[in-house]
A and B are shown apart, each in its own frame.
Chain A
Amino acid sequence: MSAVDLSTTSARSGTYWALADCWNIVRRGLTHYQRQPVNIAWQLGFPILSVLLYGYVFGSAMKVPGGGNYTDFLMPGMFVMTMAFGFINTATVVVYDSTKGVIDRFRSMPMASSAVVAGRGVTDLIVACAELAIMMLTALAMGWRPDGGLGFLAAFGLLLWLRFALIWIGVWLGLLVPNPEAAGGLFAVAFPLTMISSIFVAPQLMPDWLGWIAAWNPISSTAAATRDLFGTPGGTGDSWVEQHALLMAGVWPVILTALFLPLAVRRFRKLSR
């Protein structure tokens, strides 16, 4: 019937195919961006708009404790915010795939089902690298001058590390919300969560109770640690969590992953119930 040999018995190991399947899912994710490049623009639109708005409009009025240029203070925060909002993208793709039956088709095929989720994660990390590169070039054009070298690489790594942890929240939420429209609503949750952090304003300038919450917000640690590594003014407060920003920027993602990876996996398994 078919002129193509359709036999699929192969000597290759299960691990080989799990990796190959994962790569094919990544390819699919990247092809999406290639076919709809405007999506990257949408994802970057809000952070870049925020940079312009906060940097230029409020910039002169905003204070950085300990002195320093507000734009320099703001930029690492913008990188963190771009990473933080990333979980919405993950959730949006996952809810779309699960409600439109794409995940069902994958699950009805003899491929590794772990590849569906792992492939999503790798795609998101690759896209995050591209987003960070674009954000950083914008920042450089606006006069941001970070320290180079190892510190810069470490900061880049910490940003991706945060994004990695948020993949699992995204997958979990994507399998939890009933439809793509609801995933759009996640923005309303994410926005205040990023506001109550050290992204825009140093916590010690906030009312005590709010400043305390902001300081303990996991993304504040990444913001503070990267500011430090980029050598831009931080205005670090003297609470324990702010004093140990570098440590906590490493630890928070571990905690988030430990919490949400099992939840995401459980939710994925639940599909076969």
Chain B
Amino acid sequence: MDGYAVRAEALEKRYGEKRALDGFDLVVREGTVHGLLGPNGAGKTTAVRILSTLIRLDGGRATVAGLDVARQPREVRARIGLTGQYAAVDEVLTGRQNLEMFGRLFHLGGRRARLRAAELLEQFDLTDAADRGVGKYSGGMRRRLDLAASMILAPAVLFLDEPTTGLDPRSRGEVWDSVRALVAGGTTVLLTTQYLEEADKLASRITVIDQGRAIADDTPDGLKGLVGGDRIEVVVAERSEIPRVVKVVARVTDGEPEADETELRVHAPVADRVAALTEVARTLQDEGVRVEDIGLRRPSLDDVFLRLTGHRTEKEAAA
């Protein structure tokens, strides 16, 4: 399998005039979490649906676990797990009934399907809710059940399409924990997300996708380096204060402070975040500068985007 769990070359997918994928390339190393990062409409779901054999590709070539998705879909399906953007479990059945049904449909047979369901309920911390209807589950529980269903055969490759979209922060943390545990067990994960933070937390490598094309492929640190990592940001009350603030900020940054005259904002990249913040806050106070706001800002997907493409994500552009 040459060390790669996923290999996609020049994938094409057209919907009428729209090119959902337009020469998309991706390689995912075995045993890693790979993030596929991009704004709404970038083509993430389309890529995942092609790799998980749900839709046919119009051009290019893709292998998953060393198998060709177009020519050996059945074999691919026996080696993958898929958790879509929307939890694809049966809402009427109980959690246990769901896992047992999927287990039987994975051809485990009744007895092993029951044992495996019990095991997964335990692993995903759903034992207490096992015999309740899924319709009564919280969003986080549902997503965990969905993950459990994807893990029935302990797949070689797991596709997670925006697994935490729509979840509250606590449930999001629970899903992250589950994903980490899976990777510790040896599963390769391809995770799509719109949040740089999520990709940063989970993935060891990130591919940025825009308009159906991979526009960057790097480690999280590498990507953050592109936009200069965390930034300190000071907002002042009057324009005349800006030069003084720039001088203070310059002392803590290894880059160049940037000043935004209209928004009365000064910002600069910082390495030692807390030390820089304390230093700047104290100095500004000592010098009696009137500060409206001061804080640290993590680079967002929008920053990465702006840097890579020169344009904002479409959501921003529309706003």
Whether chain B is bound by chain A comes out as yes
**A interface, over-half SS:** loop
**B interface residues, how many (CB within 8 angstroms):** 39
Q: How far is the CB of B295 from chain A (nearest CB, A)?
A: 39
Minimum distance in angstroms from B318 CB to a CB of chain A = 24
Whether the Cβ atoms of B112 and A5 lie closer than 8 Å is: yes
Chain B residue nearest to A23 (CB atoms) is B104
- Which secondary structure dominates where chain B touches chain A? loop
Whether B77 lies near A109 (C-beta < 8 A) is yes
Interface stretch among B85-93, B170-178, B263-271, B280-288?
A: B85-93
The answer to whether A272 touches B55 (Cβ under 8 A) is: yes
Contact B108 A8 (CB under 8 A): yes
How many angstroms between the C-alpha atoms of A32 and B90 in the bound complex? 10
List chain B residues, Cβ under 8 A from A28. 90, 93, 101
Taking A4-B112, A110-B78, A272-B54 as contacts, is the C-beta distance between A100 and B88 under 8 angstroms?
yes
Q: Chain A: interface residue count, which band? A: 20 to 34
Asked if B41 is an interface residue, CB under 8 A from chain A, the answer is no
A111 pairs with B105, CB closer than 8 A? yes
**With contact pairs A8-B106, A104-B54, A110-B107 given, residues A36 and B115 touching in the complex (Cβ less than 8 Å):** no
Are A108 and B101 in touch, CB under 8 angstroms?
no
A108-B77 contact given A3-B119, A4-B119, A35-B133, CB 8 Å threshold: yes
Q: Which residues of B contact A36 (CB under 8 A)?
A: 92
B153 within 8 A of A: yes
- Check A2/B92 contact, CB under 8 A, given A108-B80, A109-B105, A272-B55: no
Is A21 an interface position by the 8 A CB rule?
A: yes
Nearest-neighbour CB distance to chain A for B155, whole angstroms, equals 10
**Contact between B119 and A2, CB atoms less than 8 A apart:** yes
Given A101-B88, A104-B88, A105-B82, CB of A31 within 8 Å of CB of B149:
no
A61 interface residue per 8 A CB criterion: no
A104 to B74, CA, bound (A): 14
Contacts of B108 in A (CB 8 A): 4, 6, 8
CB of B216 closer than 8 Å to a CB of A: no
Tell me if B204 is interfacial: C-beta within 8 Å of chain A. no
Min CB gap A245→B, angstroms: 39
* Residues 58-96 of B contacting A (Cβ, < 8 Å): 74-75, 77-78, 80, 82, 84, 86-93
Given A24-B104, A24-B105, A28-B101, decide whether A6 and B154 contact each other with a Cβ distance below 8 A.
yes
Query: B54 and A107: CB pair below 8 A?
Result: yes
Which residue of the partner chain, among B55, B74, B93, contacts A110 with CB atoms under 8 Å?
Answer: B74
- Residues of chain B with a CB closer than 8 A to A100's CB: 86, 88, 91
B44 on the A face (CB < 8 A): no
Beyond known contacts A105-B102, A273-B55: 14 more, CB 8 A cutoff: A2-B116, A8-B78, A17-B107, A20-B107, A28-B90, A32-B93, A35-B92, A35-B93, A35-B133, A101-B84, A105-B88, A109-B105, A109-B106, A110-B78
Q: List 17 A-B contacts (CB under 8 A).
A: A1-B186, A2-B116, A2-B154, A4-B119, A6-B154, A10-B107, A20-B104, A28-B90, A36-B92, A101-B86, A104-B82, A105-B102, A107-B53, A107-B54, A111-B106, A272-B54, A273-B56
Q: Chain B: residues with CB nearer than 8 A to chain A?
A: 52-56, 74-75, 77-78, 80, 82, 84, 86-93, 97, 101-102, 104-108, 112, 115-116, 119, 133, 149, 152-154, 185-186
